[in-house]
Amino acid sequence: MKKRKNIAILGSTGSIGRSSLEVIAACPDRFRLTYLTGHRNIELLQEQVRQFKPRAVVVREESNAALVRERLNGETEVLSGERGLQEVVSRDDVDIVISSLVGFAGLKPTIWALEAGKDVALANKETLVTGGEVIMRKVRKNRVRLLPVDSEHSAILQCLQGEKPENVERLILTASGGPFLHLDKKKFSTITRAQALAHPTWKMGSKITIDSATLMNKGLEVIEAHWLFGLPAEKIDVVVHPQSVIHSMVEFVDGSIKAQLGVPDMKIPIQYALTYPERRAASYGKVDFAALGQMTFFEPDRKKFRCLGLAYEALRAGGTAPAVLNAANEVAVGLFLEGRLRFSSIPVLIEKALSQHKPVHHPRLEDIVRADKETRDRLRNEQFT
Ligand code: MG
């Protein structure tokens, strides 16, 4: 019998964190949860601790940690802050870290896990968007695995099994197109928070749902694919496929294309990342082709969805430019969710931030952190309508 893998989940109360716990619960012979971390949703975090009995739990704020410590009454060790995160990802009873924090906050903990020699199942795409070069260097140096949880990148990894890198012609990322695929661009300025949060095929957290509505999510995924699979921007394409059944494709030099299909449920790519390179039986739903009837494809409308083009521009500019793209996007999405920025102004704000930045090439972590902070500070001082 195989040894069970010890798993730490960073961000266990989020959408990916909750799906990861379901996968772990379904495979008790293969996986054991050893650490959980959470931020604001301490009620759910406590519930998860009671159910999964990890060795310790980390709560972002010390005040919340104190509350959880009191309520758990010594049952489980409770740590807090960045130090707590750094500590648990380094402990011996961790084989793989699921990195599912939201946004730029995921970068440092992922680096700590890699430096501690842990394999990482990466659900936080902002980590590779902002720190791709640093991250891939750490992966090589520490001889660890960085496994994508993002469904598109999991699909590409699956299509690449048994193939030689030199035979890959291009990657084709599929995009659902989000809720505004067929909406007239003139109406983009009136899009409400509720409309943008209603994703047609995937159920996800609010940040990534807005990113899907602007197509920035696909732009971030293009950058993520560049780092994971080592291909330049011109060999990574995007096609809109509203049914979200083909999760992505790889075209080879002979014109053959391999695609990975499945129902849109994140538990499938999560389980693949945790069992890679093996597969394990699961019952998360199967594609019913007769019920599906048809699959359709469109060229993305880059005039309507300017964020996609901006992501390509940032990738081509290189260095710290993608970190600026990401920071500006996080600020813009936050303002939109607060009702302080129009949906149509999200790309305007990002483009402005990119135009004001001179990229630092081959950045160190400090350069990335600085570019992120400067962008946020600059945007904070502006007035929005
Ligand atoms: Mg994705």
CA of 329 to the centre of ligand 1 (A): 17
CA of 315 to the centre of ligand 1 (A): 18
- What does the CA dihedral 212, 204, 258, 251 come to, rounded to 10 degrees? 30
State the average pLDDT for the chain.
95
Q: What is the three-class DSSP state of 216? A: helix
Q: Is residue 122 part of a domain?
A: yes
User: Are 124 and 36 found together in one domain?
Assistant: yes
Q: Is residue 374 part of a domain?
A: no
User: Are 74 and 137 found together in one domain?
Assistant: yes
Number of domains in the chain: 2
User: Are 199 and 141 found together in one domain?
Assistant: no
Backbone torsion region of residue 293, taken as left when φ is above 0, otherwise alpha when ψ lies between -120 and 50, otherwise beta: left
For residues 310 and 219, the answer to whether their CB atoms sit within 8 Å is yes
CA of 227 to the centre of ligand 1 (A): 15
Q: What is the three-class DSSP state of 109? A: helix
Q: Is the pLDDT of residue 377 over 90?
A: yes
User: Are 67 and 140 found together in one domain?
Assistant: yes
User: 303-357, pLDDT tens digit by residue?
Assistant: 999 999 999 999 999 999 999 999 999 999 999 999 999 999 999 999 999 999 9
CA of 63 to the centre of ligand 1 (A): 34
CA of 267 to the centre of ligand 1 (A): 13
pTM of the model as a whole:
0.95
- State how far the Cα of 268 lies from the Cα of 136, in Å rounded to an integer: 25
User: Are 118 and 184 found together in one domain?
Assistant: no
Q: Is residue 78 part of a domain?
A: yes
- What does the CA dihedral 148, 153, 157, 163 come to, rounded to 10 degrees? -140
User: Are 313 and 171 found together in one domain?
Assistant: yes
CA of 65 to the centre of ligand 1 (A): 32
Q: Is residue 354 part of a domain?
A: no
Residue 54 is part of a domain; what is its CATH number? 3.40.50.720
CA of 151 to the centre of ligand 1 (A): 5
Mean pLDDT, range 59-83, rounded to an integer: 93
User: Are 52 and 88 found together in one domain?
Assistant: yes
User: Are 171 and 236 found together in one domain?
Assistant: yes
For residues 320 and 357, the answer to whether their CB atoms sit within 8 Å is yes
Residue 193 DSSP one-character state = H
User: Are 106 and 195 found together in one domain?
Assistant: no
User: Are 62 and 9 found together in one domain?
Assistant: yes
Q: How is 317-368 classified by DSSP, letter by letter?
A: H-TTHHHHHHHHHHHHHHHHHTTSS-GGGHHHHHHHHHHT--PPSS--HHHH
CA of 202 to the centre of ligand 1 (A): 9
CA of 297 to the centre of ligand 1 (A): 17
Q: Is residue 51 part of a domain?
A: yes
CA neighbor of 274 nearest in space, from 33, 14, 88, 12: 33
Q: Is residue 19 part of a domain?
A: yes
For residues 58 and 83, the answer to whether their CB atoms sit within 8 Å is no
What is the greatest pairwise CA distance in the chain? 63
Per the document, the length of the chain is 385
User: 2-20, pLDDT tens digit by residue?
Assistant: 789 999 999 999 999 999 9
- State how far the Cα of 297 lies from the Cα of 299, in Å rounded to an integer: 7
User: Are 130 and 9 found together in one domain?
Assistant: yes
CA of 125 to the centre of ligand 1 (A): 9
Cα–Cα distances in angstroms (integers) from residue 143 to residues 5, 92, 106, 146, 276, in the given order: 18, 17, 20, 10, 16
- State how far the Cα of 192 lies from the Cα of 213, in Å rounded to an integer: 11
Kindly report the number of other CB atoms within 10 A of residue 50's CB atom: 11
CA of 68 to the centre of ligand 1 (A): 33
- State how far the Cα of 223 lies from the Cα of 126, in Å rounded to an integer: 9
Q: Is residue 172 part of a domain?
A: yes
CA of 385 to the centre of ligand 1 (A): 30
User: 199-208, pLDDT tens digit by residue?
Assistant: 777 777 889 8
Q: pLDDT band at 141, cuts 50/70/90? A: very high
- Give residue 66's pLDDT: 94
User: 85-120, pLDDT tens digit by residue?
Assistant: 999 999 999 999 999 998 899 999 999 999 999 999
Residue 50 lies in domain: 5-148
CA of 264 to the centre of ligand 1 (A): 10
Phi, psi (rounded to 5 degrees) for 350 = -70, -40
> For the chain, what percent of residues have pLDDT higher than 90?
92
User: Are 104 and 235 found together in one domain?
Assistant: no
Which of the listed residues 123, 148, 173 is the one where a domain comes to its end?
148
- Give residue 384's pLDDT: 61
- Give residue 383's pLDDT: 65
Q: Is residue 273 part of a domain?
A: no
Which of the listed residues 148, 178, 197 is the one where a domain comes to its end?
148
State the pairing for strand pair 246-252/31-38: unpaired
